[in-house]
Structure 1
Amino acid sequence: MREIIKQGLLNYAKKTIRIEELETFIPVNTTYEQFSQVILDFEREGVLEIVKSKGRNTRTPSLAYFYRIHKQQLKRDYHEKLKKYRLQLHPSIKLDSYFGSDPSQWEKDHHYLLKIHQYIEKFGFPKYEVPAPERSVELVGDEKWMTDKQGKELLERIGLWSRMKVIPVSDPLMFAVNPATLSNQSLKHLIVENKTTFQALVDTLTQTDFSTLIYGSGNKIIKSIEQFERQLPISNVVHIFYYFGDIDRSGIFIWERLNEKKPIQLALPFYRACLDKTSIKGKINQRSDQSAIEAFLKFFTEEESERIQSVLNNGHYYPQEILKTSELQAIWRHSKWN
């Protein structure tokens, strides 16, 4: 019961809690004596501090009506456990992130961490890349672990994703190539969200100094971009990526997720041309991510940012298709791309 109440306190959002709320954490058949003993232990340990102004009840033993929660004290045992595992697990397994996360994350990952430790101890680190399902079986005995059960996220959390040499499981990246530019030391790549825009621009690619035109296919680009270096294996060059998507919450979110994987500039000449058009009403039910919108707006002037925010707030948007084929091609050919 102590662990059940502890987990309830860790998940509780407020800093103070009523005794009645504490009682909701415990199993149905728990007696008051059993419950009060745990609460009094937490009082002595400094996990729960009495809010004196609210008083105590008249039951025996007496408990406070309100408690102040000290989560750092609550996590003390958990942190001591992590320190012990730091000494037991292979030194390459980094546990730093767990000190700042909820203990429930550790409970979910613990079983897998032991398996990864055993694998490294027995075989060392892989020397060759293999598909994710194959490496998943080797590490934890479950071919879907990396792709469907957040195995990749766990490996990233402990700093071992790149060392496990995993071929990403995602759709191939779809792009057209401008061969004349591939000997350059700096290669530019334009990612467009929609198929219509890709088809409008593909015949103009060789009239630009861009090396590729990449079809993002909406959200798919977030995963398929991982295949880029594998599909265009050119060494000792600098890759510069630009993105052009719809000016709506979804298009902005896709860019932000891409930018987390590798630096992706906004293809501003295309976006600014959209802003010269009349926005279209629709897409009011899209997911809103304010942090993504704020990061997106930093690329624009104050006036442009206010206009984009107003368009989104009013349930309007700019689709890529608002620009005609001739406009798209002219913008790509004649704009300055730094």
Structure 2
Amino acid sequence: MKRISLDTLLRARQDLTYQEQYRYICSLLEAGQVKPVKTSRMNGKKPALYREYWIVEKKKDYGNYMEEIKYNFCPEMSVDYYLAHPEVYEKDRPYVLRLNEYLKEDRNQTEIPESWNERSFEIWNREKFLNREHGRTILKRCGIRIEVLNVYETAEPMAYYTNTRETPQNLLILENKDPFFSMRNYLMQGHIEILGTEIGTLIYGAGKRILRSFQDFDLCAEPYMIHSENTIYYFGDLDYEGIGIYENLAEKFQQRWKIRPFLPAYLAMLKKADSVHELPDTKELQNRNIGTEFFSYFDENTVRKMKDILESGRYIPQEILNTADFIPAKTYKM
């Protein structure tokens, strides 16, 4: 109930006499439209009226909706939530009815997987409704699992440069944009090796985005890229985040691909760092919870050197290397 003052109730009736105003308030009381707030005291006039009132809101009849919920939903849809919250059903009704119609009439379309946005438009004629608007809430209230709709997430397409389509070949994933462009330009000049290793394809990882984009590697990659005898390397910043990206990537896809650190590049980074006056500070808020997979590819001295840098609060960015470092004469070994 909403609290309202006597003056507000009478605002549109200021031209009436007090006796007429009194009868008007009495008519509201008799009709049950208002109730006096007895703690508000009387107004001091005769006959007296309370200074404040509760406006009584009439309870809405949801009878028609209750019948619709009970008998019109398809068997897959749960009715429990909306039977308990008919006022919410009134708001959700257009979207619930469209979902109900889809499951009744077009359920066979879910046999073919579609993206979130495609399925959303198919059901509600709004491509963002399922993933970014009210769609997931509607599904939850109807007891429908997202798996029922047979949808998949779409990642940003991978950016890559193909130097050769011959197989088997070495593919190199690069964490950052600058190394990708520099190495691409180097290969475009006619070179086939980077730091003494032949590279057929460069893939731009875009930091942590590689974890999502690589999940569709089998689907979006060219046939030569998924050849079973190919070798996939990874090269990123020598910091906690870069190592973490590699380890997450290697673990997530270990059943399908063995992804290895690109050792020549990491060794070249360490060698060149010896001549740097001061390495940059590790970026704040990095997750330092890394495992042992990355370090297992290096000898003990190299691992110690890497850990000394990390534990001192420093890191080596990929950008320490440039085109002049890619030539075979600058190949480094452990």
TM-score normalised by length of structure 2: 0.51
Residue 185 of structure 2: aligned partner: 203
Distance 1:313 1:146, change over 3 A: farther
Distance 1:169 1:307, change over 3 A: same
1:166-181 alignment to 2 at 5 Å? 166=152, 168-179=153-164
Q: What amino acid maps onto 1:285 in structure 2? A: E
User: Tell me, which stretches of 5 or more residues in structure 1 are unaligned?
Assistant: 1-88, 90-114, 152-157
1:178-193 alignment to 2 at 5 Å? 178-179=163-164, 182-184=165-167, 186-193=168-175
3-state DSSP of counterpart to 2:287: coil
Q: Which has the larger radius of gyration?
A: 2
Residue 287 of structure 1: aligned partner: 286
CA RMSD after TM alignment: 4.3
Residue 260 of structure 2: aligned partner: 265
Does the CA-based 8 Å contact 1:190-1:214 persist in structure 2?
A: yes
Residue 234 of structure 2: aligned partner: 243
> What is the Cα deviation at residue 220 of structure 1?
2.1
Measured against aligned partners, the alpha-carbon deviations of 1:163-191 in whole angstroms (never above 9, x if no partner) come to 9462x422221111123xx242x342101
Q: What amino acid maps onto 2:177 in structure 1? A: K
Q: What amino acid maps onto 2:303 in structure 1? A: S
> What is the Cα deviation at residue 261 of structure 1?
3.1
In 2: Cα distance, 1:187 partner to 1:289 partner = 33
* Alignment equivalent of 1:132, drawn from 88, 113, 116: 116
Q: What amino acid maps onto 1:234 in structure 2? A: P
3-state DSSP of counterpart to 1:298: helix
In 2: Cα distance, 1:148 partner to 1:260 partner = 33
> What is the Cα deviation at residue 222 of structure 1?
2.0
3-state DSSP of counterpart to 2:182: helix
* Alignment equivalent of 1:214, drawn from 180, 189, 203: 203
1:1-338 alignment to 2 at 5 Å? 123=107, 126-135=110-119, 143=128, 164=150, 166=152, 168-179=153-164, 182-184=165-167, 186-205=168-187, 207-208=192-193, 209-234=198-223, 237-238=227-228, 239-262=230-253, 263=257, 264-276=259-271, 277-278=273-274, 280-290=279-289, 292-330=290-328
3-state DSSP of counterpart to 1:281: coil
User: Tell me, which stretches of 5 or more residues in structure 2 are unaligned?
Assistant: 1-75, 77-98, 137-144
Measured against aligned partners, the alpha-carbon deviations of 1:82-105 in whole angstroms (never above 9, x if no partner) come to xxxxxxx9xxxxxxxxxxxxxxxx
Residue 53 of structure 1: aligned partner: none
